[in-house]
């Protein structure tokens, strides 16, 4: 039933309760007029908002700093900008999976660097190693681009989204949480959850093909919840995870908001269908983290269970435990700051690793020769044993590590990063002014033929030590680089090695979709729009 009919029916009931049946038609007409007036007022409000925004943008463009920014960026090549939408119009008109191809066309047209405009926001797109180094190595240009603000309602201002002194302080406090000895403690969790994954996949052995992505994602969610909060959530028992679905929706909606400039103001976004759907997702995401949070020893007040040492036999230490002990100059993280960091690591720690593992499985499934070589490495380490993985085992998986790195080259979990410049940066013949936003497209950076001959070919030997030594240090940065590189990259590599080790030792797998047929969606995380379809065949494993 549409809104007008609902209003009429409700008004009719109200009249009936009043007993005034004779005036129903006139009252309904009045209701209809009120509804029309309401619609007109809403339309007027939107038009007025558009006028106010346009006036604000015009006045702000007259500011001396903005005029300098415009003058310098106008020297760069780039597509035509239109009123209100800037250069975003083509991205509004194509399906999600075609936006990456549209970006690729721009890269080919403008070669190394070009300017864009999202609404009134000026930005520069780059994808060369030299430009990446100039941007990411700076200690001055550490602020994320304005688009990260769209995640504040979810992640607050944790490590991913914070800037300035807060970021510096939190980074320094959190870094010890990823010490080698602590990561070693997590390997046990990686193995436990990988074993559950292997058992869950048994039901797919006779199938003609299935989407492995949800299985890997739930395994990664199990891992991150237990290592972050010390709380098992049994995600692999939940076939339809509302948390995972909400994460995917938020990723899509955030990009929708970015490419539609009129959705940038918060109050207009909330009025839109996208905004209402986004808020629903926020409730689901926060309900999930609340449930996990409420199960921790910290929340229950059992601080004595959290204060542990790293000597002798000990209980497993979670990331939250480390945060509780973290301090800088005697200052501790507040409850709100703890929640922000936990939310951030739960999102980043499961979504990016899920993508990394799934793309690696996909590529191994397309290249049986590489898969066999990776399997033989596992056999040489485990000798047919079904024992759990150890840190020493992981350090011996040299070939598997090269497979993962090459997978992350072709399909980096985070396809790009953004910065807002605090000072001018020289990139080739151009000066990119302070105040400008810079997008670094890691997906295209990794396809530079100068550093990766035949860049579309899957070749783990790209990461032989002698080849790595000859490459530009910023030619391969799946975990970003510089001061704001990913703090959890060692965690991610150990997790991915562990899960893939179990998959290789228990199953042969074959991918069912050719690369040219894959619909790749580049949003917060690079993922296949329709999942990863594979078949699996059990291997004969030992019982040692």
Of 32-36, 186-190, 345-349, the one with minimum mean pLDDT is 32-36
- Gap between the Cα atoms of 295 and 229, Å rounded: 9
Residue with tokens 């000798």: 383
Same domain, 251 and 395: yes
Measured distance CA(76)–CA(145) in Å, rounded:
20
Determine phi and psi for 235, rounding to 5 degrees.
Answer: -65, -30
Asked if 292 and 428 sit in the same domain, the reply is: yes
Do the annotations mark residue 274 as ligand-binding?
no
Domain that holds residue 57: 1-15+29-62
pTM over 0.95: no
Q: Which of 25-34, 193-202, 446-455 has the lowest mean pLDDT?
A: 25-34
Residues 54 and 158 in one domain: no
Average pLDDT over all residues of the chain: 85
Q: What does the DSSP 8-state code read for residue 508?
A: E
Top pLDDT among 278 and 339 is at 278
CA 483/CA 137 separation, integer angstroms: 7
- H or E stretch including 512? none
Residues in Cβ contact with 469 at an 8 Å cutoff, skipping those fewer than 6 apart: none
Tens digits of residue pLDDT in 384-426: 898 999 999 999 999 999 999 999 999 999 999 999 999 999 9
Q: Are 178 and 349 in contact (CB under 8 A)?
A: no
pLDDT at 51: 56
- Please report whether residue 402 resides in a domain: yes
> 117 forms bridges with which residues in the sheet?
122
Q: Do the domain assignments include residue 116?
A: no
Binning pLDDT at 50, 70 and 90, where does residue 64 land?
low
Residue 440 lies in a domain: yes
* C-alpha torsion 25→27→33→38, nearest 10: -140
Report the pLDDT averaged over residues 437-451. Answer: 97
Contacts of 538 (CB under 8 A, 6+ apart): 205, 506, 507
Tell me: do 276 and 368 sit in the same domain: yes
Looking at the structure, tell me whether residues 472 and 337 fall in a common domain: yes
Residue 308 and residue 208 share a domain:
yes
Q: Quick one: pLDDT at residue 49?
A: 53
The pLDDT confidence band at residue 203, using thresholds 50, 70 and 90, is very high
CA distance 500 to 239: 21
CB count within 10 Å of CB 238 equals: 15
DSSP 3-state assignment of 433? coil
357 plus 257 within the same structural domain: yes
Task: Say if 86 falls within a structural domain.
Answer: no
Say which CATH number the domain at 310 has. 1.10.630.10
Is 104 part of a structural domain of the chain?
no
CA angle 314-319-321, nearest 5°?
A: 60
Question: Does residue 38 share a domain with residue 186?
Answer: no
Q: How many domains does the chain have?
A: 2
Spatial CA neighbour of 374 closest among 219, 181, 505, 276: 505
163 strand-pairing partners: none
Question: Is residue 479 a contact partner of residue 492, using CB atoms and an 8 Å limit?
Answer: yes
Phi, psi of 464, rounded to the nearest 5 degrees: -65, 140
Is 163 exposed, middle or buried (CB count within 10 Å of its CB: 0-12, 13-18, 19+)? Answer: middle
pLDDT of residue 380: 97
Q: What are phi and psi of 76, to 5 degrees?
A: -80, 150
Tell me: do 235 and 379 sit in the same domain.
Answer: yes
Token pair for 125: 């797109």
Is 266 a member of any domain?
yes
Q: Which residue has the tokens 């994602």?
A: 217
Residues 49 and 181 occupy one common structural domain: no
* 178 and 52 in a common domain: no
Residue 354 is assigned to a structural domain of this protein: yes
For 320-363, what is each residue's pLDDT tens digit?
A: 888 888 776 677 888 889 889 989 998 999 999 999 999 999 99
- Do 155 and 7 reside in the same domain of the chain? no
Whether 328 maps to a domain, the answer reads: yes
């Amino acid at each position: 039933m549409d809104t007008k009919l609902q209003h009429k029916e409700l008004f009719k009931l109200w009249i009936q309760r009043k007993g005034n049946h004779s005036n129903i038609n006139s009252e309904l007409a009045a209701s209809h007029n009120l509804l029309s007036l309401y619609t007109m007022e809403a339309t007027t409000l939107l038009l007025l908002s558009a006028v106010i925004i346009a006036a604000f943008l015009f006045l702000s463009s007259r500011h001396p700093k903005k005029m300098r920014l415009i003058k310098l960026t106008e020297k760069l090549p780039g597509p035509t900008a239109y009123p209100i939408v800037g250069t975003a119009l083509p991205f509004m008109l194509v399906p999600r999976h075609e936006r990456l191809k549209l970006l690729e066309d721009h890269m080919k047209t403008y070669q190394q660097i070009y300017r864009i405009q999202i609404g009134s926001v000026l930005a520069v797109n780059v994808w060369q190693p030299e430009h990446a180094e100039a941007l990411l190595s700076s200690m001055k240009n550490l602020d994320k681009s304005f688009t990260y603000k769209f995640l504040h309602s979810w992640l607050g201002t944790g490590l991913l989204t914070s800037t300035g002194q807060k970021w510096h302080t939190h980074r320094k406090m959190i870094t010890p949480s990823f010490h080698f000895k602590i990561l070693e403690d997590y390997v046990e969790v990686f193995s436990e959850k990988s074993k559950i994954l292997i058992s869950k996949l048994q039901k797919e052995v006779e199938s003609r093909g299935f989407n492995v992505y949800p299985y890997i994602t739930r395994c990664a969610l199990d891992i991150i919840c237990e290592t972050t909060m010390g709380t098992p959530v049994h995600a692999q028992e939940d076939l339809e995870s509302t948390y995972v679905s909400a994460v995917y929706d938020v990723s899509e909606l955030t990009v929708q908001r970015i490419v539609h400039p009129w959705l940038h103001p918060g109050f207009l976004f909330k009025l839109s269908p996208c905004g209402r759907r986004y808020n629903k997702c926020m409730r689901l995401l926060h309900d999930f983290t609340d449930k996990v949070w409420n199960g921790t020893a910290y929340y229950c007040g059992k601080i004595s269970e959290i204060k542990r040492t790293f000597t002798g036999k000990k209980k497993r230490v979670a990331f939250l435990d480390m945060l509780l002990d973290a301090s800088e100059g005697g200052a501790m993280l507040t409850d709100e700051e703890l929640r922000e960091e936990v939310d951030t690591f739960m999102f980043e720690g499961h979504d990016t690793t899920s993508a990394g593992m799934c793309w690696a499985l996909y590529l191994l499934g397309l290249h049986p020769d590489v898969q066999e070589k990776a399997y033989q490495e596992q056999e040489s380490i485990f000798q047919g044993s079904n024992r759990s993985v150890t840190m020493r085992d992981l350090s011996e998986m040299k070939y598997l590590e090269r497979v993962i790195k090459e997978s992350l080259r072709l399909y980096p979990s985070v396809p790009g990063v953004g910065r807002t410049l605090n000072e001018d940066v020289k990139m080739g013949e151009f000066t990119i002014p302070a105040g400008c936003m810079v997008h670094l497209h890691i997906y295209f950076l990794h396809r530079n033929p100068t550093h990766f001959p035949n860049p579309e070919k899957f070749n783990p030997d790209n990461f032989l030590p002698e080849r790595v030594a000859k490459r530009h240090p910023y030619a391969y940065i799946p975990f970003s680089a510089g001061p704001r590189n990913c703090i959890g990259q060692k965690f991610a590599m150990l997790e991915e090695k562990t899960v893939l080790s179990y998959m290789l030792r228990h199953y042969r797998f074959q991918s069912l979709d050719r690369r040219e047929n894959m619909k790749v969606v580049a949003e917060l995380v690079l993922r296949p729009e329709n999942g990863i379809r594979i078949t699996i065949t059990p291997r004969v494993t030992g019982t040692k």
